[in-house]
C-alpha cells in the first residue's frame, strides 16, 4: 500500500537529529538557467498586493533550482521581500535596513538564489511598515524530488484582514484585550473594562484571499491521498484548523519532515508556521475545513472540501469546541522524554512587555535595537531558551537557519522538531532551540512573528563573530 510506503519513507528520511537531514541546496553552476519571476507590489482595495492578488502568486520550484525574482515596488511605503524558511545568502534575505536597503516606489531589487531546503516555505514583506498585514505575502513551495507525490495537493493560505485603526491602536498598546489561545477559556477572550492590550480587531478572516462561502471549493476523489499545505499568514492570530468528520495526518512542520507522521483532529497553527497534512475522504459528501478562532467572524475562515456531485450539499461542520479532540502540539509530534535533563542553555532570552498603553514588546527588558544579540562562532551548536513572562503568546522566528526544537514548557522532546517558528506560550512558557551555526556570514534577524510585537521592539539578531 502506498500509504505504508510513504510512512516508512518519512521515518527513514528523518533521523533523531532531524536537523541534520536538512541540506543547503547544492550550488549549481551559474550557467544553469534560472526560473525568472517578476513580483510587483501595488495597492489593492484597502491593502497591498503582489501581482494583483492577496495572497501573491504561489511560487513553486524544484529543490536546487535557481530562481531570479525581480521585485518592483509600486507602493508608497518602503518594502522588501523576505524568503521565510529558505536558506539563502544574507544579502538575499530581504530584511530592509539589515540585509538590504528598503525598496521605494518605482525602485527594484533582484533576488537571485538557489531554492532549498524542500518543503512549504513562504515569502513576505519585511520593511517594518506592516506590509505583511496589508497583504504582501505568498506561499513558496520547494519540491522534493524524492518525495512520493500525493494524488492531489492544495495550498491553503490563512490570513486575517485587520481593521486599520485597531492595528494602529495595538501598536500604541491600546488595542483590545490580549486573545492568545482562540480555544482557551471564554474569560480569556473578554475585554474586561480597563484591561486593554495589544490585540488587533479584524474585519475579515480569509483562506486564499476570500471569506466563506466565497472561498474556492476543493474537489477531491474518494480514497485519494490529498496533501494540504497550510500557511498561517495572519499578522497576529493563532488558528486551529480542522476538517469536519476527518482526521489530519501531519507530515511536515514548517516544511520539514516530522520524524513520524502524527494523526490529529485539529492542527494548531501560529502566525508564520506551516504544516503539511494528508487527508483521505472515504465517504461521499461535503465537509467544512475551518480555521477555528475566537472572534464572532471566525467562521468566515472556512472552505468546502467535496467529493464528486456533492459540491452544493450543505457541508458538514466540525464541532465549534476542541473538547475531546486530539490537537497537534509540539509535544505530541516530538514525544516527551521520560527524564527532563535540564542542561543550562548557552543563551536565554526573556520575552516581556505589553499591556495597557505599553507599546513595548521586549527581550530582556529592552526593545530593538537595544536588545541583546546572539553572538555565535561559525560551526558552533548553540542552545537558546526563551522564557515568556508576558500575557501574550509569541511565535518566535529565526532567519537563515532551521533549528531543532528540543524543549517545550520544561519537557524535553524525544524527537526534536525541525522548525523556523515556534510559539512560546504566555505566562511562563518556555522553549529551547538547538541552532547549528552554519549559515553564511551576516546578520540574521530573530523576532516575534506577531507583526505588532515585531514592530514594537521584540527583535534581536544572530551575528557571526567568526
Ligand atoms: Cu516570516 Cu522575519 O519573517
Ligand atoms: Cu509576540
Mean pLDDT of 376-397: 96
Instruction: Kindly state the helix (H) or strand (E) to which residue 159 belongs, with its residue range.
Output: strand 152-162
Residue 11 half-sphere exposure toward CB, CA atoms < 13 A: 8
Residue 189 has pLDDT above 60, yes or no: no
Bigger pLDDT: 256 vs 10:
256
Cell of 313: 450539499
Grid cell of 138 as nine digits: 505568498
Residue 13's pLDDT band (cuts 50, 70, 90): very low
Atom of ligand 1 nearest to the CA of 132: 1
Residue with cell 510585537: 453
Contact 175, 166 (CB under 8 A): yes
The least confident of 184-193, 208-217, 364-373, 426-435 is 184-193
How far apart are the two ends of the chain, measured CA to CA in Å? Answer: 50
Write the DSSP string, 367-429.
-TTSSPPEEE-TT-EEEEEEEE-SSS-EEEEESS--EEEEEETTEEEEEEEEESEEEEPTTT-
Mean pLDDT of the chain: 88
* Tens-digit pLDDT profile for residues 135-165: 999 999 999 888 878 999 999 999 999 998 8
In this model, does residue 25 exceed pLDDT 70?
no
Q: Above 50 in pLDDT, residue 435?
A: yes
Residue 11, SS3 per DSSP: helix
Kindly give the distance from the C-alpha atom of residue 130 to the centroid of ligand 2, in angstroms, as a whole number: 15
Distance (angstroms) between ligand 1 centre and the Cα of 420 equals: 9
> Is 347 or 7 the better-scoring residue by pLDDT?
347
Nearest protein Cα to ligand 1, atom 3: 84
Q: Are the beta carbons of 122 and 142 closer than 8 angstroms? A: no
**In the predicted structure, residue 14 carries a pLDDT above the cut 50:** no
pLDDT exceeding 70 applies to what percent of the chain? Answer: 87
DSSP H/E element including 256: strand 256-264
pLDDT at residue number 185: 42
> Residue 172's CB: how many other CB atoms inside 10 A?
13
Q: Starting at the earlier edge strand, list the strands of the sheet with 266-269.
A: 218-220, 302-307, 286-292, 239-243, 266-269, 327-328
| CA pair distance 73, 50, nearest whole angstrom | 9
Give CA–CA dist 128/249, Å, rounded: 36
Ligand nearest the Cα of residue 271 is: 1
322-325 contacts, C-beta under 8 A, 24 or more apart: 322/183, 322/240, 322/265, 322/266, 322/292, 325/242, 325/264, 325/265, 325/266
DSSP assignment of 415-455: EEEEESEEEEPTTT-EEEEEEE--SPSSEEEEEESSHHHHH
Mean per-residue pLDDT for 400-428? 97
Residues with CB under 6 A from ligand 1: 82, 84, 124, 126, 272, 397, 399, 445, 447, 449
Q: How many CB atoms are located within 10 Å of the residue 173 CB?
A: 20
Largest CA distance in the chain: 64
| For the CA of 454, the nearest ligand | 2
In degrees and rounded to multiples of 5, residue 179 shows phi and psi of -130, 95
Write the pLDDT tens digit of every residue in 242-287: 999 999 999 999 999 999 999 999 999 999 999 999 999 999 999 9
Tell me how crowded residue 60 is: count the other CB atoms within 10 A of its CB.
14
Q: Which residue has the cell 488558528?
A: 239
CB 445 within 8 A of CB 374: no
Q: What separation in Å is there between the alpha carbon of 255 and the centre of ligand 1?
A: 15
Q: Contact 270/114 with Cβ under 8 angstroms?
A: no
* Paired residues of 101 in beta bridges: none
Ligand closest in space to the Cα of 421: 1
Distance (Å, rounded) from C-alpha 408 to C-alpha 412? 7
Give me ligand 2 centre to Cα 387, in Å: 12
Q: Taking a C-beta distance cutoff of 8 angstroms, is the pair 103, 79 a contact? A: yes
- Rounded distance between C-alpha atoms, residue 83 and residue 93, angstroms: 6
Ligand 1 closest atom vs CA 124 = 1
pLDDT number for residue 18: 32
Q: What is the pLDDT of residues 93-128, one digit of tens each?
A: 999 999 999 999 999 999 999 999 999 999 999 999
Confidence of residue 341 (pLDDT cuts 50, 70, 90): low
Give the DSSP H/E element, type plus range, for residue 71. Answer: strand 66-73
Give the torsion sign (CA, 19, 20, 21, 27): positive
Please say whether the beta carbons of 291 and 270 come within 8 A. Answer: no
| This model's pTM is above 0.85 | yes
- Asked if 266 and 320 count as a contact pair (C-beta separation under 8 A), the reply is no
What is the chain's Cα-based Rg? Answer: 21
> Which atom of ligand 1 lies closest to the CA of 399?
2
Could you tell me the distance, in angstroms and rounded to a whole number, from the CA of residue 224 to the centre of ligand 1? Answer: 34
Task: Name every residue whose Cβ is closer than 8 Å to that of residue 49 and which is 6 or more positions away in sequence.
Answer: 41, 42, 43, 56, 135, 136
Amino acid at each position: 500500500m502506498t500509504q505504508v510506503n510513504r510512512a516508512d519513507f518519512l521515518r527513514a528520511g528523518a533521523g533523531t537529529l532531524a536537523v541534520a537531514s536538512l541540506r543547503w541546496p547544492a550550488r549549481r553552476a551559474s550557467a544553469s538557467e534560472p526560473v525568472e519571476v517578476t513580483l510587483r507590489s501595488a495597492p489593492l482595495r484597502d491593502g497591498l498586493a503582489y501581482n494583483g492578488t492577496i495572497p501573491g502568486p504561489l511560487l513553486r520550484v524544484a529543490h536546487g533550482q535557481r530562481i531570479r525574482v525581480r521585485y518592483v515596488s509600486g507602493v508608497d511605503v518602503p518594502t522588501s521581500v523576505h524568503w521565510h524558511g529558505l536558506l539563502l545568502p544574507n544579502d538575499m534575505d530581504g530584511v530592509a535596513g539589515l540585509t538590504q536597503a528598503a525598496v521605494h516606489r518605482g525602485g527594484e531589487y533582484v533576488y537571485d538564489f538557489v531554492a532549498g531546503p524542500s518543503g512549504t516555505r513562504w515569502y513576505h514583506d519585511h520593511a517594518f511598515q506592516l506590509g505583511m498585514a496589508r497583504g504582501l505575502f505568498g506561499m513558496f513551495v520547494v519540491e522534493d524530488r524524492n518525495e512520493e507525490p500525493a494524488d492531489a495537493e492544495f495550498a491553503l493560505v490563512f490570513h486575517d484582514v485587520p481593521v486599520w485603526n485597531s492595528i494602529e491602536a495595538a501598536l500604541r498598546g491600546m488595542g483590545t484585550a490580549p486573545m492568545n489561545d482562540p480555544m482557551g477559556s471564554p474569560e480569556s477572550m473578554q475585554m474586561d473594562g480597563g484591561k486593554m492590550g495589544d490585540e488587533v480587531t479584524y474585519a475579515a478572516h480569509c483562506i486564499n484571499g476570500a471569506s466563506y462561502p466565497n472561498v474556492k471549493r476543493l474537489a477531491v476523489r474518494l480514497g485519494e491521498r490529498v496533501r494540504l499545505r497550510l500557511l498561517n499568514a495572519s499578522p497576529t492570530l493563532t488558528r486551529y484548523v480542522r476538517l469536519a468528520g476527518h482526521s489530519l495526518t501531519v507530515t511536515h512542520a514548517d516544511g520539514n519532515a516530522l520524524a513520524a507522521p502524527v494523526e490529529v483532529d485539529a492542527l494548531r497553527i501560529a502566525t508564520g508556521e506551516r504544516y503539511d497534512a494528508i487527508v483521505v475522504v472515504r465517504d461521499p459528501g461535503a465537509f467544512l475545513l475551518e480555521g477555528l478562532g475566537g472572534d464572532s467572524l471566525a467562521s468566515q475562515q472556512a472552505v468546502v472540501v467535496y467529493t464528486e456531485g456533492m459540491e452544493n450539499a450543505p457541508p458538514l461542520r466540525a464541532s465549534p469546541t476542541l473538547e475531546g479532540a486530539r490537537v497537534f502540539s509540539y509535544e505530541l509530534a516530538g514525544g516527551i522524554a521520560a527524564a527532563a535533563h535540564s542542561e543550562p542553555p548557552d543563551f536565554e532570552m526573556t520575552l516581556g512587555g505589553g499591556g495597557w498603553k505599553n507599546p513595548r514588546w521586549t527581550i530582556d527588558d529592552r526593545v530593538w535595537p537595544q536588545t541583546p544579540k546572539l553572538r555565535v562562532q561559525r560551526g558552533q551548536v548553540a542552545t537558546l531558551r526563551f522564557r515568556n513572562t508576558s500575557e501574550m503568546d509569541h511565535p518566535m522566528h529565526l532567519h537563515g537557519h532551521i533549528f531543532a526544537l528540543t524543549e517545550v514548557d520544561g519537557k524535553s522532546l524525544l524527537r526534536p522538531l525541525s522548525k523556523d517558528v515556534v510559539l512560546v506560550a504566555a505566562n511562563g512558557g518556555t522553549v529551547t532551540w538547538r541552532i547549528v551555526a552554519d549559515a553564511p556570514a551576516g546578520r540574521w534577524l530573530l523576532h516575534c512573528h506577531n507583526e505588532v510585537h515585531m514592530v514594537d521592539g521584540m527583535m534581536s539578531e544572530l551575528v557571526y563573530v567568526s
